[in-house]
Amino acid sequence: MEFGELLKQFLIDLQSLFRTSTKKLNLTLPQITLLSSIPIDGIDMSTLSKRIGVDNSTLTRLIDILIKNNFVRKIKNPKDGRSFIILLTVSGEKLQFKIEQQIDQFGSKIFSKIPIEDQDEVKETLSTLHWLISKHRLNS
């Protein structure tokens, strides 16, 4: 299998497993991705859009849903009145924590199935892959 095909299949499988493991949260994968990407001290919409790889109109729709559900709030950026900062609400922080717990449980379950003698190598390889993908995103 070519590397590109392997990456595609890995992404499909990972998304499928992730959806199954977070089904109880009643959120879509893009909503979970968005909530997981908001730092506690907030983030401006432009940076958030780049971070999760969606255009501004898609981000706005996702944020509007999360605002309706009282998970985030949007305030004018004090440094630039034309833009907005996205902040987690208290219930958004709790949900973000719950998402992180689900991800940790999911990751631990998968990781525990890797033979102990291979675990360090797998972590190092995934770390390298993540670094390369992050570097590629920055240069795109």
CATH code assigned at 73: 1.10.10.10
pLDDT tens-digit readout, 86-118: 999 999 999 999 999 988 988 899 999 999 999
Q: Does some domain include residue 131?
A: no
Which pLDDT value is given to residue 126? 93
The residue count for the chain: 140
What is this structure's pTM? Answer: 0.83
Which pLDDT value is given to residue 26? 84
| Helix, strand, coil tally for the chain in percent (to 5) | 70, 10, 20
Per-residue pLDDT averaged across 23-42, rounded? 90
Q: Does some domain include residue 108?
A: yes
Average pLDDT, the chain: 91
Range of the domain at 12: 3-115
Per-residue pLDDT averaged across 75-88, rounded? 91
Q: Does some domain include residue 41?
A: yes
Q: Does some domain include residue 28?
A: yes
> How many domains would you assign to the chain?
1
Please list the residues that pair with 43 across neighbouring strands.
Answer: 86
Q: Does some domain include residue 37?
A: yes
Q: Which amino acid is at 121?
A: E
